[in-house]
Amino acid sequence: MQKTFDEYLSEFIEYLKVSRNYSFHTLISYKTDLSQFGVYIVKSGLCRESNSLPEIQNIFLDFSNIELNFLKSYIADLTDPDSGNKRYSRKSVSRKISVLKSFYKFLIKKKYISKNNASFLLFPKTLKRLPSFLSKREIENLLGEKYISEISILDKAIIELFYSTGLRLSELINLKIQNIYFSNRTLKVLGKGSKERIVPFGKKAELALLNYIGIRDICNTEKTDIFFLSNSGKKLYPMQVNRLIKKNLSIVTDIKKKSPHVLRHTFATHLLDNGADIRAVKDLLGHESLSTTQIYTHLTPEKLKKVYKQAHPRA
């Protein structure tokens, strides 16, 4: 028996939520991308509507009738300047293809279809851009006594922890005080997909966190277990932390992008530059795949010079 597009979609999203433990934001992203695919199906006339209602949710659909060429046409439409639609970047198109592949795997799993045409879709070649990161001199300027003594205790604790651990923004703002173990200088972090990992932090970060606790206790009027709080005692929201980081990075660097992720990139780059094993860095960052971590294996100018001096006979 055929289902409506909305029934397929709802079942898939529930599967991702329960079985795959996907985050709320990821579920919204998947739903948005697949709804866009539904719009394309409606415009193509490849379906019949329920109760003569034009809404996408009401279309009856048999995915067995959707051929590979139709899927290719949909992907091509995303980048066609003459389609009248927004043109998407290669990265966005790759994400939408990935969502389609995941959706079709689900349809196979549930035996709604017998052939997975989405498995034949090819990802567009993406331009590999090196992540923005701070040089060691810029980090020294940022965390040096001259500058670090002039900023707030909260700013210092957040910057030190970002650079010391490579945490994601969401991981930092959701960090709980009971998950900071000062006895062995480690954190228990709840990462993507609600996966926990243990991350060590250094002495400088420990000192910054201990200094901040006194301020936190004053602000914590609601007795929350969230570690980083605003002056009003509320959990920090992402825009606050983004502004905090941008303000401080602007003092020491001219790089275009100034965000918490830059400190995460810097953490990984400096570890690898100093000989850390890439698999260890992968675990510290909470990456599922080693290929994700490999974007940090670029050579910095300082490392190139060092290799040259060590290896070239006439250096």
Catalytically active residues are 168, 192, 261, 264, 287, 296
| Distances in whole angstroms, Cα of residue 50 to Cα of each of 55, 60, 171 | 9, 7, 44
Closest by alpha carbon to 227, among 162, 159, 180?
180
